[in-house]
Structure 1
Amino acid sequence: MTVAGWRFLEPEGWPDPGRDGRPCPRRSPLRGRFEQTRRRLARLRGEGNLRTAAVVGAAEYVHARLRADATDGPSNRQVVDSVLQRPDEPGELLAYWTATHGRNVPKPLKRGIADAVRRLYSGKSLLKYDTASRGYRFGDILNLVHAAPDPGKPWQGELFQYALDRRHHPDTAVPPASDRVLTAHRELMTLPVEERRAVVTSEGGAERLAAAGMTWEALAGWLQGPMDKAAWEAVIPSMGPMALVRNLRNFDEAGVSDEVAAQVAARISDPAEVARSRQFPFRYLAAYQHAPSLRWAYPLEQALGHSLVNVPALPGRTLVLVDRSGSMFYSRLSDRSDLNRADAAAIFGTALALRAADADLVEFGTTSNRVDFRKGESVLKVLERFGDLGGTDTTGAVRKHYRKHDRVLIVTDEQYAFSHHGSPAEQVPADVPVYTWNLAGYRVGHGPSGEGNRHTFGGLSDAAFRMVPLLEARDADWPWEH
């Protein structure tokens, strides 16, 4: 089975089936490799921060072991519990399982989800994630997996009952008095609309909103009116760093005070906050390009620099090729991004080059040029050195700049100009990995993918930064076949 570009070892071919015709797990050639799989899934979800791949991988781990009647190695329950790190992920796992393997949910999967539910569910998480837009509500999951409250959390039984009531009897559901967040939230929701704006302007209004788990999105609906200066200043103290980054324009348009703006600037540029948010340079470049006032420019530049710690530091020598042909400037990276493909490719390449042990950074189009940079230099300063280079000669760029590098990374829309020398990947020895990120998704690419050391990825997201070390780690001891 294939999960995020990897194929799990199948049970077919296990030696010496038992009397009932099924493989005998005691003599399985996969003995000992289940633990490797568990570690790799944990790595995907942890340092890799690849939520969907880890959740899908855990589901397929369970499916493969159940098919093989395997009992050795980490239990299905343990693996499922380990990859569920956010309160909405139990529902995502159930949605994937039922869509892929049917509505019969096996007990090990239920037990692993139940363990995660006991660990993750709280009043605050219920307010944030138990919404009508979810395929599986908290109450649906509790009904299905029959999670018992954690003995160390005496309040959890009432919370679970409230989640069930919210799902099945929303008009009469009453939050438990033991949960201060839910109680405070209910008090705010029952206030008459005409009295609500007085809360945000009152002394202690910010603390009251925070105590009720009120997000800025929920506040906008609760007020049933514009998010003015007072509303923003009341909710800003409880906003997360990335929510702050996304709303800089709104803060300026509402006219938040310089004092509050200074607090925002300090938080979004704090190295510890940036590291904890695990955001990558794309986010900060987009905010920098579209922030309406100069008071955000330097904090965002600092944050962008701090975010490089989240970019893998590639060993050896790396050639990074960034497409700066005309077509890269015409389209946005995605419907949810204001970055054009050219700038997204440039920051991706620059970030990797700055972090790599030894990298050559090249822009290419009709011609190609090296882009100079210094270790520790501002990403934004490096970006100013990129230009618009017209057509596309990817093969020519690889031929000109490849000098026995350990890997080649190409970020392009793959509007490939034919070369009599062949494809770009053909210019590189077969034992050297070539990674291509196709930002446009053209059906015909400039080279093979999925064969040996040739890999092509559709689109570009923050997860793209993690793919190279994950693929190269696989070559050492990854427990899947490609």
Structure 2
Amino acid sequence: MARFNTRSTRPAVHSPVTTTGEQTITHEGATGHLRDAKSELFLLAVSNFVGQDAFYEKGGQRDDRYTQLVRKLAIEDPEWTAGLLGWLRGDGNMRTAALVGAAEFTAERLLHEAPGYSRQVIASVLQRADEPGEMLGYWTSKYGRKLPKPVKRGIADAVQRLYTERSLLKYDTDSKGYRFGDVLNLVHAAPDPAKHWQGFLFQHALDRRHGNDDEIPEPLHTLHARDALMKIPADGRRASLGDPNVTDQFADAGMTWEALAGWLQGPMDKAAWEAIIPSMGLMALARNLRNFDQAEVSDAVAARICERFTDPEQVAKSRMFPFRWWAAYKHAPSLRWGHALEQALNHSLANVPRLKGSTLILVDRSPSMFPGYGFSTPNTSDVTLAEQAAVFGSALALRAESPTLVEFGGESKKLTVAKGGSILKHIEAFGQSDGTDIPSAVKRHWFAHDRIVIVTDEQTRPGWLPSNMRPYGGMQETAIDDLVPKTTPVYMWNLAGYKPGAMPSGKSGRHTFGGLTDAAFRLVPLLEAGRDATWPWMTDRASTA
């Protein structure tokens, strides 16, 4: 009789987030599983908004855990940690965590007098023109005004790449402690030889810092265009919105809607919005739909906005988290944006696979996933972890061949999945539940599905065996890993980055992912095709198992 070559035989595959075999308890008292340092850091990094409290963990505690892990791995495996931090600011789209991580990485390597990596890491996490000043603000507030060479050179590399006329107009403001001129004075960045205008820009930024910017160098065309607009008398600016010769200059002058409001020295009305909308970025458009409706912008202008929302290239370029599109829908008063926002959300979830066979999808709706319990979702306006989980769960369910979609907390219930339905409408159908009991939800709803996906913060209560299944009597905990055969893969999607995991992971059909984008969904078909998965910044993302 065949023992090994059977229909259910699958290759043994591995995923990067790995538990060590050591156990602890979850924040709700179930058996928890400790992860190795790299796995713990990765899950925390992709969910940690620095300085913000989480439901089970104070902001200071999270930040300390994060910096300790970064500093530990900066010495033990600097190449891996450098890759994480660069990816975190890039594809991971996590700004502050990447910046803090790069500073702490550098500080630890300086402490150990370890050469290499630091300059490159500093430069890699600075991706927006205000971030060199942010890095200086963090470093000097914690380590003093003396700047080590790797810090200065890394910032200088970024300055050369990032400083433009438009960024000067947008970010070099009096509200900043370190202005562009201050940064240039401290790091001594040289202009890029390939950018003939940058030397003039650097000198103008220095002059501007000291109030000597009356004369704008000739090559700085954007600054000249802005200066021409500023010369229009204040009492005539609103009337000039009807003049195409004026409004056509807005894009050339790098005008943002905030700058326009200041230029008008008054409220943004219909004419003002319609004049600036063609120059606005996708994120600014999505965040201002309520303002557009209140100003009663025309349907023709609204249609042009919707055309941009439905363009997959523009959505990808915006790098907006999927839940941002849900937030835009939630806050928009009128229905004229709905279909375009649905398409934008779908474009932002392009990595969600169409899974064959049957899939059980469990979405956590417990108190720790919501605000109002001493915790508000950090840096995400009022978009809760529960809503983010609903976005991912709904997208997966609508694309799966045979889905079972369940919301759970202490109790659980199955939700209807309308084939070809709207992700936005499915999100609205979710409710809220007290408590967190993942094993009981698995036990109630798993009927030999081909796979299980759980979107959660992992902090489950213990599951308990029914009395007729307790061979020794008394209370006996049952875990997710006990309930499902190893031949059925379980994918845990961790949204909060807490230390204890709810199940072993890394092999034997148990895998944990993290992050606020859809990128990790690519690993599901990869693992099920019998291929190992590795860290997302590795150039070879998968190797044959």
The normalised TM-score by structure 1 is 0.76
Distance 2:87 2:73 in 1: 22
Report matched runs for 1:198-347 at 5 Å: 198-309=239-350, 320-324=361-365, 331=372, 333=377, 337-339=381-383, 342-347=386-391
Matching of residue 409 in structure 1 with residue 462 in structure 2:
no
Give the corresponding residue for 1:40.
Answer: 84
Give the corresponding residue for 2:15.
Answer: none
Distance 2:196 2:428 in 1: 57
CA contact (8 A) 1:395 1:422 kept: no
Distance 1:406 1:9 in 2: 36
Distance 1:272 1:146 in 2: 37
Report matched runs for 1:342-421 at 5 Å: 342-351=386-395, 361-371=405-415, 373=417, 378-383=422-427, 385-387=429-431, 393-401=437-445, 409-411=454-456
What is the CA distance between 1:329 and its match in structure 2?
7.3
Change (3 A) 1:189 1:328: same
Give the corresponding residue for 1:19.
Answer: none
Alignment deviations for residues 141-199 of structure 1 (CA, whole Å, 9 cap, x no partner): 111101122222222222112212222326x5543232111112122223321011132
Structure 2 unaligned segments of length 5 or more: list them. Answer: 1-36, 46-65, 465-474, 507-513, 524-532, 540-545
Matching of residue 473 in structure 1 with residue 534 in structure 2:
yes
Aligned with residue 162 of structure 1, among 204, 211, 222: 204
The normalised TM-score by structure 2 is 0.68
Distance 2:418 2:219 in 1: 56
Give the corresponding residue for 1:182.
Answer: 223
CA contact (8 A) 1:333 1:340 kept: yes
Aligned with residue 65 of structure 1, among 97, 105, 109: 109
What is the CA distance between 1:379 and its match in structure 2?
1.3
SS of 2:346 mapped into structure 1 = helix
Aligned with residue 134 of structure 1, among 170, 173, 176: 176
Change (3 A) 1:110 1:11: closer
CA contact (8 A) 1:364 1:394 kept: yes
Alignment deviations for residues 218-270 of structure 1 (CA, whole Å, 9 cap, x no partner): 11121112211111111011001111111122222222222212111111221
Which structure is richer in relative contact order (CA contacts within 8 A, separation 6 or more)? 2
CA contact (8 A) 1:325 1:391 kept: yes
Matching of residue 106 in structure 1 with residue 163 in structure 2:
no
Alignment deviations for residues 339-375 of structure 1 (CA, whole Å, 9 cap, x no partner): 4665443224323556789975421245323445488
Range with bigger deviation, 150-159 or 320-329? 320-329
Q: In the alignment, residue 156 of structure 2 is paired with which amino acid?
A: A
Distance 2:355 2:206 in 1: 48
Distance 2:157 2:355 in 1: 36
CA contact (8 A) 1:333 1:344 kept: no
What is the CA distance between 1:283 and its match in structure 2?
1.4
Q: In the alignment, residue 42 of structure 1 is paired with which amino acid?
A: G
Give the corresponding residue for 1:24.
Answer: none
SS of 1:225 mapped into structure 2 = coil
In angstroms, what is the RMSD of aligned CA positions?
Answer: 4.3
What is the CA distance between 1:477 and its match in structure 2?
8.1
Give the corresponding residue for 1:197.
Answer: 238
What is the CA distance between 1:124 and its match in structure 2?
0.4
Change (3 A) 1:335 1:306: closer
Give the corresponding residue for 1:463.
Answer: 516
Distance 2:269 2:316 in 1: 31
CA contact (8 A) 1:114 1:145 kept: yes
What is the CA distance between 1:125 and its match in structure 2?
0.5
Give the corresponding residue for 1:458.
Answer: none
What is the CA distance between 1:430 and its match in structure 2?
13
Aligned with residue 163 of structure 2, among 121, 134, 140: 121
What is the CA distance between 1:130 and its match in structure 2?
1.2
Change (3 A) 1:37 1:343: closer
Change (3 A) 1:231 1:8: same
What is the CA distance between 1:206 and its match in structure 2?
2.5
Range with bigger deviation, 3-12 or 44-53? 3-12
Q: How many correspondences in the alignment? A: 444
Distance 1:316 1:125 in 2: 50
Change (3 A) 1:465 1:36: same
CA contact (8 A) 2:481 2:503 kept: no
Give the corresponding residue for 2:99.
Answer: 55
CA contact (8 A) 1:278 1:310 kept: no
CA contact (8 A) 2:385 2:495 kept: no
Change (3 A) 1:187 1:462: farther
What is the CA distance between 1:129 and its match in structure 2?
1.3
